[in-house]
Amino acid sequence: MSVHAGVSATRTPTIADLLATSERPLVSFELFPAKDEVQQRQLWQTIRELESLGPDFVSVTYGASGSTRDRTILATEAIARHTTLRAMAHLTCASQSKDQLRQVIGSYAAAGIRHILAIRGDMPGGPTVPWERHPEGLDNATQLVAMVRQLGDFCVGVAAFPDLHPERHDPDLDARVLVAKAEAGASFAITQLFFTSCNYFDLVARVRALGCDLPIIPGIMPVTKISQITRFAELSGAALPKRVTDRLEAAADEEGVRRVGVDVATELSEELLAGGAPGLHFITMNRSRATREIYARLPQAQRRG
């Protein structure tokens, strides 16, 4: 691999490097930028608790239409500067012009951020709202990947959909789109949250059948409250399976729900790792307890030595 200007031959490995060389599954965490002082304290408490686990990277989300743009940049930069963590910033192209996107990418580069998760993103209102291209924007995530790669020395990740994209509901198209993202310069993918392991393995098989070896990291989000059930459907475009909701609703109290949610996420994680998933990306909602409990039950994913 070539050495770019200003980067030593012993540069910090990228996520792509880790995926290519690690002898164990990667473990990573998703965070979101704080909007006030209370959330800021919670975010940094979570960061410090998760940092102790030695994750391979953390990512910071980017709100609909760039609504958290500045906070995402600041949070990712602060993590990169003040922790030992490898930080990745999300970037969406929904409701933003090409010039706006170039400015954000330039801000990431100036902050020393070298990992970007490039996703189309949803319209304000969520994944069920019909997509509308900004008049001066991009059509899709594939074009965004190409733009990011053209503008800097970035390692780029993309989104994948085990439960099918909520607009298209076409598994073969989902696989072809993922291959197109890889051809545009993506180095890995992270899935949307899901609860059925065979859906993940089916997606991987469809992508491999097209001759693409893009690493696909499963996204895991434990349900810790009954109120999250509807929210899960809004986030992923797919309802929770009945076998999961039945277990959650049978719990006697809030703590019981949390324990069941941890159990379900642990069981899914074990199935995925046993089937050869290259890592696990935990959607933490800026809380660490459930994620740390799941991690403690997965010795095969824990950092060694």
For 225-243, give the DSSP string.
STTHHHHHHHHHSSPPPHH
User: What is the rounded distance in angstroms from the CA atom of residue 31 to the CA atom of residue 34?
Assistant: 9
pLDDT of 66-124, one tens digit each?
567 789 999 999 999 999 999 999 999 988 999 999 999 999 999 899 999 999 987 77
The answer to whether residue 9 scores a pLDDT higher than 50 is no
Banded pLDDT at 44 (limits 50, 70, 90)? very high
Entry pTM: 0.92
30 is catalytic: yes
- Mean of the pLDDT values across residues 163-191? 90
Banded pLDDT at 237 (limits 50, 70, 90)? low
- Mean of the pLDDT values across residues 211-218? 98
DSSP-based three-state secondary structure for 216: strand
Give strand pairing partners of 279.
26
The helix or strand, by DSSP H or E, that contains position 217, with its residue range, turns out to be: strand 216-220
Banded pLDDT at 3 (limits 50, 70, 90)? very low
Q: What local confidence, expressed as pLDDT, does residue 175 receive?
A: 96
CB burial of 271-302 (b: ≥16 within 10 Å; e: otherwise) equals: bbbeeebbbbbbbbbbebebbbbbbeeeeebe
Residue among 30, 167, 270, 293 flagged as catalytic: 30
Looking at domain 25-299, does it have CATH number 3.30.70.600? no
Q: What local confidence, expressed as pLDDT, does residue 2 receive?
A: 32
